[in-house]
Amino acid sequence: MASPEDLHSKFLADNTDPRSLIVRVLVAAGRVGLSSTDVVEFLEESFGVFQKKSIDASWAWNKTELMQALKELRSHKLVEQDKDGLYHLTQLGRLSGESGVEVESIIRVVDGLSGVSPANISGPTLITLTQITTELDQVVFPLNRKSTQKEPQTWMHEISKQGVAAQIMRAISRSTIDAIQPTLRAKKAVACLLYITDRLLTEIENTMTQFGGRLNGAAGPIKNVTSRTCDILPTVASIATLIYPNLDLNNRVQRLLARLDWVFLPILLSLALVLVEFQTGVIILTFLKQALKQLNNLKIQGKVFY
């Protein structure tokens, strides 16, 4: 008879952000405010701490670090204190806790949107802004690290041509761990922007690997980055609407998600290319390209489908 596997908590992984832990605690507390002492005690009772102490009995929270994390959350308006000194989540903080998106990502997006006119928050802007989050930074993507001029200039230029706000362009280069990270973010944004066009996946792959990386291709990474962008983009849009309450992004986000997640479209386009010598292939290709142009205005059950 098989033995049950041991439970292992990921609550205190080596890369866990203490700010995210505090936000999760306040989400669990609901509408009840907590003092800084309450927050520490709540964390002390977690299963993750129990496991830590079972390995190292002397392990303890760095309370100075936790207090600093609380201070940062308050300065970035993710938490606030009431008249009794109890901490409560703001709308931004609750969004972070309930969405599962890292606090660092929320802060980056808020900073990136600082000074951006609501009128300039377009589809390309939302897609590009999503790439500066920690979640998208974790997506592996091909890049020629030896190309210190052509790759950076090409992808930044392509984003700029899409009318992405200057503040967002600058945000791409902030909160980085090395010199190539801004280029990777820009390149991922371009990959997503190409994916929502009528380009064949092979065409997009060729564009992405024009500076190197053809050996292993880029189809897999392209799909990975579009999929992860689908996961995070709704939260990025929600942050924008919290900052600008009169901004309505619902239809725009629905169209972007449908285009980024319409995984069978590149396959059908590739099939049409294979059959292009036959009348059927021409008909499929023509239909799909026309459909792409028309679906932006197509509504099903009162909702924008594409």
Domains and CATH numbers, the chain: 18-99 (1.10.10.10), 104-261 (1.10.3380.30), 263-306 (no CATH)
Q: Where does the chain have alpha helices with state H? A: 18-28, 36-44, 47-55, 63-75, 91-99, 103-113, 123-130, 134-137, 150-161, 166-171, 181-195, 201-208, 219-243, 250-261, 264-274, 279-294
Side-chain half-sphere exposure of 129, counting CA atoms within 13 A: 32
Contact in structure between 237 and 106 (CB atoms under 8 Å)? no
Rounded-to-integer distance, Cα 22 and Cα 25, Å: 5
One-letter amino acid for residue 208 of the chain: M
The crossing angle, in degrees rounded to 10, of helices 123-130 and 103-113 is 140
Contact in structure between 39 and 66 (CB atoms under 8 Å)? yes
The CA–CA distances, whole Å, from 204 to 65, 188, 251, 285, 292 equal 45, 12, 26, 17, 17
Contact in structure between 131 and 169 (CB atoms under 8 Å)? no
Per-residue confidence (pLDDT) for residue 302, from 0 to 100: 35
Per-residue confidence (pLDDT) for residue 258, from 0 to 100: 80
Contact in structure between 200 and 146 (CB atoms under 8 Å)? no
Which tens digits make up the pLDDT trace of 44-91?
766 455 565 566 655 567 788 888 999 999 999 999 999 999 999 999
pTM of the model: 0.77
Per-residue confidence (pLDDT) for residue 66, from 0 to 100: 86
- Which portions of the chain are predicted below pLDDT 70? 1-15, 45-60, 213-216, 262-306
Which residues are bridge partners to 303 per DSSP? 300
Rounded-to-integer distance, Cα 30 and Cα 47, Å: 20
